A and B are shown apart, each in its own frame.
Chain A
Amino acid sequence: MREMPAANPIIYDSSKCIGCNRCMEVCQVDIFIPNPEKGKHPIVAYPGECWYCGCCVMECPVEGAIELRHPLMNKVHWVEKSILMKNNKE
């Protein structure tokens, strides 16, 4: 049985990841465990403990193999300034 976590900080692209575990070894919170299948990306065992620092992504040798995603509630909004200015005129 599995349960969806409150947030899913790490998303892997299995087609790119070479399974080197460098992301896992640099994480100071140690949220990962190695994959029992050799050569596959680590498993996020403790997703809630992620500090969202990005060091795992900074350490990865393959562009795009690992992605860090803020929880939805932390998604910050932005808008084009010109749209705000238009609102002002209306």
Chain B
Amino acid sequence: MRKLMLGNEAVARGAYEAGVTVAAAYPGTPSTEITEYIAKYDEIYSEWSPNEKVSMEVAIGASIAGARAICSMKHVGLNVAADPLFTVSYTGVNGGLVIMVADDPGMHSSQNEQDSRFYARSSKVPMLEPSDSQECKDFVKEAFEISEKFDCPVIVRLTTRIAHSQSVVELGEKVDFTLKEYKKNFEKYVMMPAMARKRHVEVERRMAELRDFSNNTSLNRIEWGSKDVGIITSGIAYQYAREAFGDASYLKIGMVHPIPEKLIADFAKEIKTLYVIEELEPFIENQIKKMGIKVIGKELLPVIGEFSSQLIKEKILNVKTEIKVPINEIVPVRPPVMCPGCPHRGLYHVLKKLKLVVSGDIGCYTLGALPPAESMDTCICMGASVSGAHGMEKARGKDFAKKTVAVIGDSTFMHSGITGLIDIVYNKGVSTTIILDNSITGMTGHQHNPTTGYTIKGEPTRKVDMVKLAHAVGVERVRVEDPFDIKAFEKAVKEEIEAEEPSVIIALRPCALLKGVSYEGAQVIRKDRCKMCKLCLSIGCPAIVDKGDCIEINEALCIGCKLCSRLCNFNAIEKAGV
């Protein structure tokens, strides 16, 4: 059967067909849907783990116990999981172990543009890179074979355009995979110096074998055409190159680590002018240059952002597409915004008013850095808000802490905020942490997390009580407030920043898009009462429109959260049709 599938969905299908029975992940664009699709297979135990390191360790445990296991994350997630990665490379596996990582060239939804291929190289783990959905499925299956044959984890790397593009996939049968026997083997699985030294020798022997394998596997293939121009490429860049060059010869690399050196040398011999076309870093290119082969790559192509076939044509073939738009208008940008009804909007109204320094974090609430709130001062990585605020206090003293708060989402707090909070308590800090509990992992599209009370499959489960958790690590001042009750919320923030001890405010109100959250529906502005003070516009709700001579509410967007009517001093906002 042929099916149109997202790259991520095809990865899930590949895992299913390979007989995977354990899957763990922490969400992160563009990798999230892999595990959402996996969760639909009843045959596979799947979970949202609190963070990527945990998800990888779960998969490692499952592999050692004999199952085929998979874990998935975005590129920055692999930083979090790097610790187990480097050592599972030494121990190797029992059941096949595949690590999915999705890079984000162009940073559609990320805080940096790192190239994960370097992780494969420095951890000495093989890496595959598919170039469409069919290959997503096929390569994942092949990755499990490689993992078991060479006794190592295998990383499969996607980029946004592979993960989030749909293309046609021929579905296959599920293989019969039976749990491998579990045998205690401390020489292999207990990585103390004496054992690790022996395993490192194994790793180097394995890499030599994998280098041979790379020259012979069908994952790497030559498509002969005109030999005047030869292209060495992989992943999505292959598709762009095919479109840009048409008739040329292509060496398409599916195994990007280790690269097929002999195949490359043989290919290069036949070709007049040789290019390497790869997004981000010159990962393949530098290795080829080191072999003494002349290739052109990053001399012409950028290391920043995504490619496209027009970009390749322009940079290499000097063909520029120029389109003239005859309409002379400035088109305002449309950055993402907090949704109508977003509980974070109430929080930022207060933080802005109090002019606080906000040590920020990652999630929908990061939008509070943009106008009109413009309230967030920093955003580095998940968890950095809490520890960062503590560092600010240690640099500038307690008075500075009285003007500072850390803001962090519920999912992010579970991911890596709790360790920062422990640090504040342990090291005599006084910082205030505001946990934005909107009852879901919002930014990545509504995934459950340890605070929501449901598993990835929607089954009810125990939930972490953040009030008790904060008390348990030693925070005595813990309170729960509603961010839409602006007066009470403001009072709470003022009191907690004043207090010379660690404090936590849990801003509790669910995401407006969650199922079961319902407000009363669209509001209207009563023109007879409106004084055009424009206070309602200051909260930056996309449903409130300044018409010049009056203010209107867009009924298609407004859900009736009434944050604006709570703010209005003239009672001018009420339910439509009253």
Bound together: no
Q: Which residues of A approach B to under 8 Å, CB–CB?
A: none
Q: Which residues of B approach A to under 8 Å, CB–CB?
A: none
